[in-house]
Each structure stands twice: as C-alpha cells, then as structure tokens.
C-alpha cells in the first residue's frame, strides 16, 4: 500500500532525515502495515512531495521513539506536541529517496490523480503512485549535476576535469534548504540570475559545500543554513579548483573577484 501524508512547517524534516535516516511519525487511526510506502507532502509554502519512505515499524509507544527536540523550530511547539502525544502510537518512516522537483508540486499531483492537498493520510492510487515514482526515479531530474561517478562524489558536464562535487551539492533537497536560508544570489560575485536573465533565471544557482569533503567524519551532520552557500556556476568551478594544492575559501575568492572587477572598471575595458 502506498500512502501520502502531510508534513507541517513547524519541524525541520530535511535535517532530521539527513542526520538519522528516519522519523518517528504519529500513527493515528490509519491502518498502516510494515513495508508500506509513504510519500511525504510538504504543505505551504513548499506544496510538493519531497520524501519517499518505507514503514519499518508500527505501534511504537512514546518510550520507543527518538527524541527529536532539536528539529522543532520553536521549543513551545515541541512541548505542546510532546504532551499531546504521550498516549499516541507511532510508525517509523525510513527514508528511501528525497527530492525537490516542480513535477511533484500540488498542481501536477492533482493532474495525476490527487484529489486535493492532503490534510490527513490518503491512499495513493496506482496512477498517482506510478507518476510519483517515475519522477523520483528520473535520472534527468538533476539538471545541474546530471552525471553520477559513484555514491560519494559526482561531477557535472563540462567541468569533469576540474570540479568534483559531493552528495550535498548534488542533493535537490540540500539545494532547496540552502536557498530557503540564503537566497539564490551568488555569495561570491553577487550575480542574481533573475535580474540578469529574467524569468528563465529564476531560482537558478549552484550550491557549494563549504567544508572540504576529506575533513568530514562519519558522524558529520550537515547544517543546511551554515554549511552550504549559493554560488553561480563560474564561482563554483573556481571554488573547486586547487591553487598550490589548496582550495580557495569563499572569502578569498570574493576578494579576488572584487579586486579584478575594480581593475576592469578603472581600465575602462
């Protein structure tokens, strides 16, 4: 059985999944079974399905679930939910895939069989489930980094010999979370694609992982707000290019761009 459930805005689902790989979710009166697939629809302002999960456990009591206090945006909301759910049962949702695609927005979901924005768990029809899985499995969804090298590092077309990007830079969820916090203007050269190219440039940007991949340990937990920054493709390529054996920092590259732009303006070129 495939289900669609709705996620509210009070909780950082992206970070919770990234750090633990699962979320314990209120079971309610829904007749879930172990092995059922669950698509999580994020409500306004996102209004998209962003996660595909498998139910690995049902009927968990409050003492059997993990404490996820750190992922609530407001501590008051956490405690309010905590006391309300003391007698509730929970399911464990193990993350299978995550994606951020306009093809999974509300209008496209309705066009493919969803009645309306889900407020409570609903069964996904075969047509709708096939559509969602098709989009999630579409290897062409990632327009910025389409070519996979292996499960750890990837390169994108045209810069394979120069640029290796890690899984966080490829992740559409990581990109969406980064832009949510930092906007879509390049943090190095400050180009804003919508201002330069109009509507076709809206939302276009790359995402750069500030921490060198070789320095990340197995216990590393990504901070979407502080570990990732939006950068244009040119600046992204420069950030991944080694100078004297070392990668440039964002601050250093910003300084280089500023100095050279000043020289260009003064030269009259």
Residue range 230-263, pLDDT digits in tens: 999 999 989 888 787 788 899 999 999 999 887 7
* Interval 177-226: pLDDT, tens: 899 899 999 999 999 999 999 998 888 899 999 887 667 766 788 888 88
DSSP structural state of residue 207: E
- Residue partners of 218: CB distance under 8 A and separation at least 6: none
Residue 163 pLDDT: 45
How far apart are the C-alpha atoms of 166 and 1, rounded to whole Å? 34
* Domain locations along the chain: 2-137, 147-267
Q: Which CATH class is domain 2-137?
A: alpha beta
| Secondary structure letter of residue 217 according to DSSP | -
Mean pLDDT of the chain: 85
Long-range contacts of 156-161 (CB under 8 A, 24+ apart): 159/237
- Mean pLDDT in residue range 157-161: 41
Write down the pTM of the prediction.
0.71
């Amino acid at each position: 059985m495939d289900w669609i459930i709705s996620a509210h805005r009070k909780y950082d689902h992206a970070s919770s999944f990234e750090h633990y790989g699962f979320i314990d979710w209120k079971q309610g009166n829904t007749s879930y079974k172990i092995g059922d697939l669950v698509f999580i629809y994020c409500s306004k302002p996102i209004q998209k399905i962003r996660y595909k999960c498998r139910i690995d456990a049902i009927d968990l009591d409050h003492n059997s679930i993990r404490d996820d206090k750190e992922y609530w945006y407001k501590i008051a909301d956490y405690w309010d939910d905590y006391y309300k759910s003391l007698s509730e049962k929970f399911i464990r949702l193990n993350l299978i895939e995550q994606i951020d695609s306009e093809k999974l927005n509300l209008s496209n979901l309705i066009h493919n069989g969803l009645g309306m924005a889900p407020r409570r768990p609903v069964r996904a029809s075969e047509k709708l489930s096939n559509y969602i899985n098709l989009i999630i499995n579409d290897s062409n969804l990632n327009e910025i980094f389409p070519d996979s090298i292996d499960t750890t590092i990837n390169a994108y077309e045209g810069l394979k010999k120069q640029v290796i990007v890690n899984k966080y830079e490829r992740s559409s969820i990581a990109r969406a979370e980064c832009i949510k916090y930092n906007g879509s203007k390049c943090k190095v050269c400050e180009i804003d694609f919508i201002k330069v190219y109009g509507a076709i440039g809206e939302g276009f940007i790359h995402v750069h992982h500030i921490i060198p991949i070789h320095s990340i340990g197995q216990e590393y937990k990504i901070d979407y707000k502080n570990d990732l920054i939006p950068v244009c493709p040119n600046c992204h390529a420069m950030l991944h290019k080694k100078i004297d054996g070392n990668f440039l920092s964002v601050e250093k590259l910003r300084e280089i761009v500023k100095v050279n732009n000043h020289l260009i303006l003064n030269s009259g070129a």
